[in-house]
Structure 1
Amino acid sequence: MTDPLRVLILDDDFRVGELHRGIVDEQPGFRALEPVRTIAEARDGLHASRPDLLLADVYLPDGDGIALVRETAVDAILISAADDGPTVRRALRSGAVGYLRKPFDRRGLTGLLERYARYRNLLAGDRPVPQEDVDRALAILHGSGEPVTVSRSATEQLVLAALGDGEASAAEVGERVGISRATAQRHLAALAARTVVEVRLRYGATGRPEHRYAART
């Protein structure tokens, strides 16, 4: 079974940290580590646990969360009450893959985590990444609509029809439509980026989680 993505949460308010921990643990494919409350604790946790993702506040008792993100090689999402443009721009310049303002609806974080998982899966491995996958990954991560390089096609309509009211893998869709698994995967990813279809992860006994697709109603 593929290990879930491990998330380190950094917030000086332990109640907020535990709240975020609960949201992360409820999200399929993710597991929250013990939350930390200071930059120093976060550095220790990053070194010892090697998390896949850091959720960090900006203003902390012993330093600046944005500066921490800049110095680490771990993907990070900044969660803060700071709503001024310079702080947000500084956060994005630091390399953060997302910025979420407090207070936020639970769906704000779960949606961002879901998009991050899809973004990470699309860019997984050491294979060469075509430009269309780069465009799609960025569109997924930032929750934007249709990437400029992707358009609705007759094949996509067939792919949607093949899904029907149930769910299926890319291989199953390809077999139904009469196209290769790779082609079906490309069309399904494009539809998912536009939120036309929903991506679900199914964990088996071994290997990577299987991606299942279902048309949104």
Structure 2
Amino acid sequence: MTDIRVLVVDDDFRVAGLHRDAVDARPGFAALEPARTVGEARAAVAAHAPDLLLADVYLPDGDGIELVRSVGLDAFVLSAATDAATVRRAFTAGTLAFLVKPFDTRVLAERLDRYARYRNLLASSRPLTQDDVDRAAAVMRGERDGASLARSATEQTVLAALGDDEASASEVAERIGVSRATAQRHLTALAERGLVSVGLRYGSTGRPEHRFRSA
């Protein structure tokens, strides 16, 4: 698996070095040489295509939040600014996290770990369900694997249809009045999260049938 490439953008070379080292210390991450200005950051983005920016707000030649808005990359804003207008502007620009300086490098490490999980959850080649999207957002916010989110109404209905029994996707679909494909999609998502177990039933002919049971 390719490391997540991170560009630190900060005009204080000591702070930039600390953040670069914190990135390099996390498994699965690789820090690029920090940029000290908006111009250097744009050149580094064009040359090295980072996956994630860690950008300060106040830079010698411009505004880090506008940089985040314009480059179209995942980003964290790292700033000593604590006024609500700046924080709102950062989130409006698309930042995934706002870290108030000064902060312990362990805080950055924890946010990077969240980001890695967030990327993994949104790396699926299959169409995402609403629950997939909610789970990724919850992980980025620090909610443990989205456990604190209420399950979607359809998920709850699927689990209720299973009850304590074992059933196929077709049987669940018939019980709740949805298509087999919809039931299969929700059952598969629940199984991936460990909420449903999957077994096989072998008949006398044809393919084995997947059987689902609440875990």
TM-score by length of 2: 0.70
Root-mean-square deviation (CA, aligned residues, Å) is: 2.3
Q: Quick one: distance in 2 between partners of 1:3 and 1:144?
A: 26
Q: Quick one: distance in 2 between partners of 1:12 and 1:108?
A: 21
Cα 1:181–1:128 shift into 2, 3 Å? closer
The question of whether the paired residues in 2 share the 8 Å contact of 1:24 and 1:30 is answered with: yes
Tell me which amino acid in the other structure corresponds to 1:186.
R
User: What's the offset of the Cα at 1:182?
Assistant: 6.2
Alignment deviations for residues 25-56 of structure 1 (CA, whole Å, 9 cap, x no partner):
00011000001100000000001100000000
Q: Quick one: distance in 2 between partners of 1:68 and 1:117?
A: 22
Runs of 4 or more off by more than 2 Å in structure 1?
A: 180-185
Report the secondary structure of 1:133's partner residue: helix
- Aligned-residue sequence identity (percent) comes to 56
The question of whether the paired residues in 2 share the 8 Å contact of 1:12 and 1:38 is answered with: yes
The answer to which structure, 1 or 2, has the higher relative contact order (CA under 8 A, 6+ apart) is: 1
- 1:40 and 2:39 aligned: yes
- Give the aligned partner of residue 148 of structure 1: 150
Report the secondary structure of 1:9's partner residue: strand
User: What's the offset of the Cα at 1:187?
Assistant: 3.0
- Give the aligned partner of residue 80 of structure 1: 79
Size of the aligned set, in residue pairs, is 162
The structure that has the greater radius of gyration is: 2
User: What's the offset of the Cα at 1:107?
Assistant: 1.7
Q: Quick one: distance in 2 between partners of 1:131 and 1:47?
A: 33
Q: Quick one: distance in 2 between partners of 1:182 and 1:144?
A: 19
Report the secondary structure of 1:31's partner residue: strand
- 1:186 and 2:176 aligned: no
Q: Quick one: distance in 2 between partners of 1:70 and 1:187?
A: 37
User: What's the offset of the Cα at 1:73?
Assistant: 1.2
Matches within 5 A, 1:1-217: 2-144=1-143, 146-149=148-151, 183-187=190-194
Q: Quick one: distance in 1 between partners of 2:46 and 2:36?
A: 16
Q: Which runs of 5+ in 2 are unaligned?
A: 160-186, 196-215
Tell me which amino acid in the other structure corresponds to 1:149.
R
Tell me which amino acid in the other structure corresponds to 1:187.
G
- Give the aligned partner of residue 169 of structure 1: none
Tell me which amino acid in the other structure corresponds to 2:149.
P
Report the secondary structure of 1:54's partner residue: strand
User: What's the offset of the Cα at 1:181?
Assistant: 8.6
TM-score by length of 1: 0.69
The question of whether the paired residues in 2 share the 8 Å contact of 1:135 and 1:149 is answered with: no
Q: Quick one: distance in 2 between partners of 1:117 and 1:185?
A: 18
Tell me which amino acid in the other structure corresponds to 2:70.
E
Q: Quick one: distance in 1 between partners of 2:129 and 2:190?
A: 14
